[in-house]
Homo-oligomer: A and B are copies of this chain.
Amino acid sequence: MQLGFVSAILGDLKLEEVLALAADEGFACVELMCWPPGRADRRYAGVAHLDVSDFTGDQAEHVRGLVELHGVAISGLGYYPNPLDADPGHRAAVCEHLVKVIRAAPRVGVSVVNTFIGRDHTKTVADNLARVPEVWLPIVREARAAGVRIGIEHCPMLFSDDEWPGGKNVACTPQTWRHLFAAFDAVAPGTVGLNFDPSHLVWQFVDCGRAVREFGPHLVHVHAKDERIDRDRLYQVGVTGQGWHVPKLPGLGDVAWGEFFAALTDTGYKGPVCVEVEDRAYEGSLAERTRALRQSRKFLEQFMG
């Protein structure tokens, strides 16, 4: 396993600065954000350390050079839109950009692209799953052709009234994963898997170790983020309410990290583990965000060397 981080937290740095910081802080890799140019439409979105919208050979060569220079690998390219958005125009736009990300990956020596399945948040799980083949099979075929594995982030994306009731990502439970992988593996075996993040399972009350053991062969990439359950807030609003679980740095929440890494190692996972900083207590200055990365590294090294 290689320790890295998700570049979204360093949106104000340029690619070369991100890689230099990673090297300085002892990280082996970085997942690079590849949002299209333009403003972000939600927290943690919109960062582009790689602008793939019109990606030239020179740019690719430049990136490969930076990677070699800093000795820091790119663990994957990340772009987390809503490919099942209710608006057909929006769907088309994000799928078009996602394909650009997929095509760019091998040109910079990367074989993993991380993203969401998406969801029309006003519709049921079943309704959304019904639309998956139409939207996703073309993308999966693109990925297969490019030799790229897609890592599905399994966050329910349900944090506010804007995302209520269904959230903006349908691929968030074992039952759904089984359904999706059956469909995708039929046309492109092994192409689609999980960008596994234990924090999402904490508040879904889904047994994380069991999930890793069941879906081991489908693990494509790993995010290291913790989630704290706020018992007092949970009392106020109940499990169907909002705000009772908050993202924290690894070690400051309810993920059982020893058990998680026991499962990862037993299942034979050998890929990247990227810290994803979404802990608001560490989001101020660049110094604070750097400290967040450093602290997370120190915490995780005890479980992954």
Contacts and interface: CB of A to CB of B under 8 A. Distances in A.
Contact of A205 (B239, B281, B302, B304): B239
Which of A206, A210, A231 has the largest number of chain B CB atoms within 10 A? A206
Interface stretch (A45-53, A84-92, A101-109, A158-166): A158-166
Contact of A239 (B236, B239, B305): B239
A303 B252 contact: yes
If over half of A's interface residues share one DSSP class (helix, strand or loop), that class is named, otherwise mixed; here it is: helix
Contact of A248 (B125, B166, B246, B262): B262
Nearest to A257: B251
Interface stretch (A33-41, A62-70, A144-152, A287-295): A287-295
What is the copy number of this chain in the assembly? 6
A175 B206 contact: no
B252 A204 contact: no
Nearest to A178: B236
Given A158-B240, A167-B240, A175-B237, 20 more contacts: A124-B164, A156-B238, A164-B165, A165-B166, A173-B241, A175-B236, A203-B239, A239-B239, A249-B265, A251-B302, A251-B303, A252-B258, A252-B262, A265-B281, A266-B281, A292-B305, A295-B301, A295-B302, A298-B301, A298-B305
Given A165-B164, A252-B303, A305-B291, A265 B282 contact: yes
Interface residues of A, number: 60
Contacts of A238: 156, 172-173, 201, 204-206
B206 A235 contact: yes
Given A265-B281, A268-B281, A282-B265, A251 B241 contact: no
A217 interface: no
The 9 tightest CB contacts between A and B, nearest first, are A165-B165, A295-B305, A204-B238, A265-B281, A252-B262, A299-B302, A291-B305, A173-B238, A175-B236
